[in-house]
Amino acid sequence: MKVLIIGANGQVGKHLVEKIQKTDSIQAKAMIRKTEQAAFFEDLGAETVLVDLEGEIEEIEAAIKDVDAVVFTAGSGPHTGPDKTMLIDLDAAVKSIEASKNAGVERYIMVSSFDTTREEIQNAITDAPSFAPYVVAKHYADDWLRKTDLKHTIIHPGLLTNDQATGKVEAAETVGRNEIPREDVAEVILACLENDATINKEFQVVSGEQPVKQAIESL
């Protein structure tokens, strides 16, 4: 299986490409925005493709045509404004979903935010207004994906950290708020790619006591 990782140069994306390249059955194709980002992935033996997520949908579609699955783990980042949030976390996500449909790629994994419900939008408007556009963007991107026929999985990770991976998580439709190392999120994505039982499911995931594969199998 060849998997296109959108947002490969992000921290979760890099961990994911590294993990995929260590498997025998999956190959990574890293979507990057700058040519200088390619060396990291080429050193891992991964294919790269240069695409600007703010560009046309046809550019994303061309990158998807030769793959079996797509993982969207791109994000505008915490230091950008609402404009970039809408362009990347919403518009680029929707474009990648539509591009996957157009290219005939059915398997799609979305790395979302921990809580993207309408209730969480209202909470953010009241308690953290600057965070509200991000929740709105993720809410509608997730909803767009749910309404397609794609074989999708939506992962809602807790607060991301750069702590060392533990390989153990808690995963369920709803879990208590907690942190999770980025590397463990990458391991969760890989487990979802390897387990068709995660198709058309979504779940929250934080650090916990279950090994990743066991937690994913129990969903």
Q: What sign has the CA pseudo-torsion 8, 14, 19, 22?
A: positive
Q: Is there a catalytic annotation at residue 108?
A: no
Instruction: Determine contact, residues 196/167, Cβ cutoff 8 Å.
Output: no
CA distance 33 to 136: 25
* SS3 call for 48: strand
> What's the DSSP call for residue 165?
P
Identified catalytic residue from 134, 156, 198, 207: 134
CA distance 74 to 126: 26
Catalytic residues: 134
